[in-house]
Amino acid sequence: MYRFLSALLLLVAMAGLSSCAHDAPPRWRAISLADSRVISEEPRPVKSLSVLAKRVSQKAVEEKGAGFVKPEEVWTTILDLRDVRDPRIGSYQGDEPVYPASVVKLCYMVTAMDMVATGRLTYDKALRSDLYRMIVFSDNKATNAILDRIANTNFGPTLTGDAKESFEWKRRVSARHMSQLGLEGLFPINKTFDEDIPFYGRDVAALGDRAGDNYENSNMLTTDETARLLYLIWNRAVVSPEACEAMLKIMKRDGVKSRTYFSKIVPVGGTLYSKSGFAGPCRHDAGIFVLPNGRTVIIVCFSKFRIPKGAESDGPPPVIEHVAELALEELMKTDGELDNATRDRVPGQNNR
């Protein structure tokens, strides 16, 4: 039944996109990398949000994850758009690189859209389908197909010499794009795997040596820069406004598409656009919450879940969703309370 519903949902979505599929890119109003970079820097750090991020992270661990999640293995960023003229950001360990699991797929989506807009990639049926499957169902085969297209690489045996260097340089295409956007904390370079996808050869070699839970060249994101990437998408300020609308349409969680951690705590009447991820000990989510009163809050929370030796567990405790739930409860208490400095602020580029 689930496979039937998934297939039906995919067909409906593709039908909705088909009317503009091939002629959309020429009509997209391009946004320069320089403009996107400026806008990504608009959210200003405020101490109160960092204090809130730390408090809700530690409280969520205490209430939901004691014994399985350590406070130091939760990373949280809150970007508050209560006043769109004055976006504010704060975080708990938000500048620390963390293996992102499937949240990295947000980067590949943005880079693919950028290559479509600049004529380097065709917005064909296969790409549209893969983008949808990658974000909605977190399909790893679709993800790898997209990465191979944007990087011009493929699976294969181990490479050496110039061929190895060329392969590794190509695989950094999305990381270079993120850097051009001013998002230095995003390092998306590798494919994503599961038990149905062979993990061998050049993909193994590209990871480098083992380093703790990860490898020296593992995908890495910070929650701060992931939140700023979501801010660019929400603000229709990366690639083009039309591309952002297409990405948000894919990211919107409803019905069958609601199977993410954050979707469990969306307030009644609210809307969520998100991408979650899990792999090994990692449990992550990155979402844009539109609250019933129209206020928008971006929350990114990464965590690691570990079962102590000899302990019993029914699965990962709901820590990251509780972090978001606690943060939203606190933020909703302040609705309507704007300080004078915020009221008098001249609208910026983000007020579009």
- Decide if pLDDT at 211 tops 70: yes
The C-alpha atoms of residue 324 and residue 163 are separated, in whole angstroms, by: 45
The pLDDT of residue 243 is: 96
- Cβ distance 107 to 78 under 8 Å? no
215 CB neighbour count, 10 Å cutoff? 16
Residues 291-304: tens digit of each pLDDT? 999 999 999 999 99
* Residue pair 298/231 in contact by the 8 Å Cβ criterion: yes
Residue 311 phi/psi, 5° resolution?
Answer: -85, 155
The pLDDT-based confidence of 2 (bands split at 50, 70, 90) is very low
Q: Is the pLDDT of residue 23 over 60?
A: no
In sign, the C-alpha dihedral spanning 217, 223, 224, 230 is positive
Tell how strand 44-45 and strand 88-92 pair up.
parallel
> Which of the 8 DSSP states describes residue 261?
S
Ranking 1-15, 77-91, 273-287, 334-348 by mean pLDDT, the lowest is 334-348
Q: Report d(CA 108, CA 282) in Å as an integer.
A: 19
Q: What is the mean pLDDT of the chain?
A: 88
Alpha helices in the chain (DSSP H): 2-18, 24-27, 33-40, 47-60, 105-117, 125-136, 140-151, 161-171, 173-180, 201-207, 223-234, 241-251, 319-332, 340-343
Number of C-alpha atoms within 13 angstroms, CB side, residue 162?
0
Mean pLDDT lowest for which of 169-183, 234-248, 308-322? 308-322
CATH number for the region 42-96+252-339 comes to: 3.30.450
Locate the domains of the chain by residue range.
42-96+252-339, 99-221
pLDDT band at 336 (very low <50, low <70, confident <90, very high): low
Q: What angle do CA 193, 195, 201 make, to 5 degrees?
A: 55
What pLDDT score does 19 carry?
A: 41
Query: What is the pTM for the complete model shown?
Result: 0.88
Q: Give the model's confidence band at 258: pLDDT under 50 very low, under 70 low, under 90 confident, else very high.
A: low
Torsion angle of the four alpha carbons 182, 188, 189, 192, in this order, in degrees rounded to the nearest 10: -170
Structure tokens at 266: 């969306």
Q: Match 């609208």 to its residue by tokens.
A: 347
In terms of pLDDT, which residue wins out, 174 or 24?
174
Backbone φ, ψ for residue 303 (5° rounding): -155, 165
pLDDT tens column, 125-145: 999 999 999 999 999 999 999
What are the tens digits of pLDDT across the range 260-284?
A: 999 999 999 999 999 999 998 999 9
Q: How far is the C-alpha of 65 from the C-alpha of 14, rounded, in Å?
A: 40
Go through the chain and tell me how many residues it has: 352
Residue 288's nearest CA partner among 330, 234, 224, 210 is 234
pLDDT 10s digits, 38-86: 999 999 999 999 999 999 999 999 999 999 999 999 999 999 999 989 9
| pLDDT tier at 255, thresholds 50, 70, 90 | low
